[in-house]
């Protein structure tokens, strides 16, 4: 953790980048209390200040998540084009509700505001990859593909 923080000058303007990096390098994709305390100490800030800043942004999580984060867009353009039925299919296929993680620790399901890819609405991201023009019929194949790739890695 200290090595990661040491890549940045100890200045508050780097706070969000540090938090991103710490969350990314955590295999459970979340900001632990220890990670936020380390950032606070490195920047000379109060832990409550770091936590307060992080909690303002929906991309940060404060609880362990799955190896793959599914974020489906819940903004109106995607909603109008069927995101709700796609979300319901994800819920059915994964057997979890929004905000939950599958029991095998593989997937966490989240909603998000506009992903910036409205041209391919309805859309979702799984980790760093965008999936657009979604339909419920295609969801099971996407999930199975990721399961297979994960098993093979």
Which stretches of the chain bind ligand FES, using CB under 6 A? 73, 75, 77-78, 114-115, 117-118, 121, 123
Pick the closer one to ligand FES by CB: 4 or 117.
117
Pick the closer one to ligand FES by CB: 5 or 83.
83
Q: Rounded to the nearest whole angstrom, what is the least distance from the CB of residue 40 to ligand FES in the complex?
A: 34
Pick the closer one to ligand FES by CB: 114 or 126.
114
What CA–CA distance (Å, rounded) separates 138 from 101? 21
Q: Rounded to the nearest whole angstrom, what is the least distance from the CB of residue 86 to ligand FES in the complex?
A: 11
Q: How far apart are the first and last CA of the chain?
A: 25
The size of the chain, in residues, is 153
The candidate with the shortest Cα–Cα distance to 143, out of 111, 114, 102, is 102
Q: Rounded to the nearest whole angstrom, what is the least distance from the CB of residue 102 to ligand FES in the complex?
A: 24
Q: Rounded to the nearest whole angstrom, what is the least distance from the CB of residue 112 to ligand FES in the complex?
A: 8
Q: Rounded to the nearest whole angstrom, what is the least distance from the CB of residue 118 to ligand FES in the complex?
A: 3
What CA–CA distance (Å, rounded) separates 133 from 47? 42
Rounded (10°) angle between helices 33-43 and 15-25: 150
Pick the closer one to ligand FES by CB: 28 or 79.
79
- Dihedral pair phi/psi, residue 54, rounded to 5°: -60, -40
Pick the closer one to ligand FES by CB: 18 or 134.
134
Phi-psi region of 44 (alpha: psi -120 to 50; beta: other; left: phi over 0): left
């Amino acid at each position: 953790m200290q090595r990661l923080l040491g890549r940045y000058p100890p200045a508050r303007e780097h706070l969000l980048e540090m938090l991103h990096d710490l969350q990314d390098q955590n295999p459970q994709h979340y900001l632990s209390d220890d990670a936020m305390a380390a950032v606070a100490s490195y920047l000379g800030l109060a832990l409550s200040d770091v936590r307060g800043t992080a909690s303002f942004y929906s991309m940060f999580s404060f609880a362990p998540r799955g190896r793959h984060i599914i974020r489906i867009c819940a903004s109106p353009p995607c909603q109008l084009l069927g995101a709700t039925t796609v979300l319901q299919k994800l819920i059915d296929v994964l057997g979890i509700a929004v905000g939950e993680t599958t029991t095998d620790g593989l997937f966490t399901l989240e909603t998000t505001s506009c992903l910036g890819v409205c041209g391919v609405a309805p859309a979702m991201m799984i980790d760093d990859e965008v999936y657009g023009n979604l339909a419920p019929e295609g969801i099971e194949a996407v999930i199975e593909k990721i399961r297979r790739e994960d098993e093979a890695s």
